[in-house]
Amino acid sequence: MKIGFFSQPFDDCGPDPRGSIGIVTWEIARRLARSADVLVGAPLTSGRLAKETCEGVRFIRVAVRADLKMLLLADRTLSFLKSRKPLVTRSFYYWLYAIRIARAMSEHRCDVIHIHNFCQFIPIVRAFNPRAKIVLHMSANWLAEFDRGLIDSRLKNVDAIVGCSEYVTQGIRRRFPHHAQRCITVFNGVDTDSFVPFDSCDGELVPGRIIFIGRISPEKGLHVLLDAFKFVAQRRPQASLKIMGGPYVAPSDFVGGVGGDPAVKKLARFYVGPSYIEQLRKQISGPLEGRVIFSREVPHDRVKSILHSAAMLVQPSLVETFGMPVAEAMACSLPVVASRIGGLPEIVVNGQTGLLVQPDDTQQLAEAILQLIQNSELSQTMGRAGRIRAEQLFSWSRVVASFGSLYSKLCNSKGASYSSLYDTPESSKSHSISQIP
């Protein structure tokens, strides 16, 4: 079987990837390459080669400079015209990139083409690959948020729609019930052989260390975390907070145009004036200085040692479809405090592997953090339970088995009805990794 992965046009993809979707692509592709012919189409980023083969995975990378120039011009034009339709939904979004990757996959004669998030690539891929099975893998909630008619016309050419959580998948099913039988859930994964519980040889555990890992962007809720930490710091003098990640602010269109949910609407204030990270730094002036550390992102293979230095991981997101750092922390037997939002409740079992709090609730977040700091026995119990859950639901072997099963069923369907390909039972509290048996 020949499988093509169609990366997002801004993702770094390959060994030692950056970003959750780059990690997902690499981890799945390199494992599938042990038994299949795998091609990854991606943007040409700094330090990467246009063509190379790594661990059996063939990469073709193309420059996106022309697309960026076109999008800059389009953005200015649409702003002048006061168009409300998000740029990210437009058919011409990274159009040249899509054509070049779709053509490469046609030349490679891919049987299955796996597209991340951008449904406007589907018609282009179909035009160049009329016989290929197309899988749209959603790690964003865009199908449930953007223009229904436009998206529906694109989904007609897709063979399967995969959500990274039941939150994503159910949103698609509700909005497009006529496509529901093509929708399944496959959780993102974690390398449970690499992300393991703390050992004294791995580094130094910092008592009271709270950690956040991810993009420094408004929808991640770091402004809420800093307000909560003020309460924590007053009560626990040894507590410290480390924020690790790059200042990659998601465009407002990517988070639903900062509309809809009241907590998300309030994010609009962070898209004017000083940068988000500058606004965060203003929150930590005075007594918090020295107790809050901002750290640049590190290579993914170093994240484990960062987690091993902490007492807990906190994910205070206001928008979150999955939350890979949460799954990785659980694999390291680290208790988690997370928002009860999006896909996070499917990862964290409240009261067992961590604590869930209402999003944008400073008081609840502070109390949950204090509860874990003050009760080491509870933290350890939750950490052990988190490790078990990560092994059961989030191992890459399970993720790859689910996708391998899907690809095989699609390629062998020979006109079978969708209902014979997909099992779509009601989601359960266990949130099984896939609805494919």
- Residue 156 belongs to domain with CATH number: 3.40.50.2000
- Which helix (H) or strand (E) segment holds residue 314: the answer is strand 312-315
- Does residue 428 form part of some domain? no
What's residue 418's pLDDT? 43
Cβ atoms of residues 165 and 432 within 8 Å: no
pLDDT in tens, 173-191: 999 999 999 999 999 999 9
pLDDT in tens, 326-336: 999 999 999 99
172 and 209 in one domain? no
369 and 404 in one domain? no
- Does residue 233 form part of some domain? yes
112 and 243 in one domain? no
307 and 278 in one domain? yes
What's residue 85's pLDDT? 85
72 and 166 in one domain? yes
Q: Is the pLDDT of residue 3 over 80?
A: yes
352 and 207 in one domain? yes
Q: Is the pLDDT of residue 147 over 50?
A: yes
| DSSP assigned state of 255 | G
- Give residue 257's pLDDT band: very low, low, confident or very high (50, 70, 90): low
- Does residue 22 form part of some domain? yes
407 and 345 in one domain? no
- Does residue 430 form part of some domain? no
Domain count, the chain: 2
| DSSP assigned state of 250 | P
Q: Give the whole-number percent of the chain exceeding pLDDT 90.
A: 78
Q: What is the pTM of this model?
A: 0.91
Residue that wins the pLDDT comparison between 202 and 422: 202
- Does residue 127 form part of some domain? yes
- Backbone phi, then psi, for 337, in 5-degree steps? -115, 125
| CA-to-CA separations, 124 to 108, 121, 258, 432, in angstroms, rounded | 16, 5, 29, 33
Q: 387 by DSSP, 3-state: which?
A: helix
286 and 219 in one domain? yes
- Give residue 200's pLDDT band: very low, low, confident or very high (50, 70, 90): low
Q: Is the pLDDT of residue 429 over 90?
A: no
- Give residue 205's pLDDT band: very low, low, confident or very high (50, 70, 90): confident
Average pLDDT over residues 414-434: 42
- Does residue 119 form part of some domain? yes
- Does residue 194 form part of some domain? no
355 and 249 in one domain? yes
What's residue 421's pLDDT? 53
pLDDT in tens, 392-405: 999 999 999 999 99
Region of poorest pLDDT, from 197-201, 263-267, 305-309: 197-201
Q: Is the pLDDT of residue 265 over 90?
A: no
Q: Is the pLDDT of residue 427 over 90?
A: no
Please identify which residue in the block is written with the tokens 């408004």: 218
Please identify which residue in the block is written with the tokens 């500058």: 278
Mean pLDDT across the chain: 91
What's residue 424's pLDDT? 37
Closest by CA to 3, choosing from 410, 416, 399, 415, is 410
What's residue 428's pLDDT? 34
Q: Give the whole-number percent of the chain exceeding pLDDT 70.
A: 92
- Does residue 156 form part of some domain? yes
CB atoms within 10 A of CB 207: 12
What's residue 287's pLDDT? 80
| CA-to-CA separations, 403 to 134, 182, 303, 400, in angstroms, rounded | 12, 14, 26, 5
126 and 241 in one domain? no
161 and 77 in one domain? yes
246 and 133 in one domain? no
Q: Which domain holds residue 297?
A: 200-393
What's residue 317's pLDDT? 97
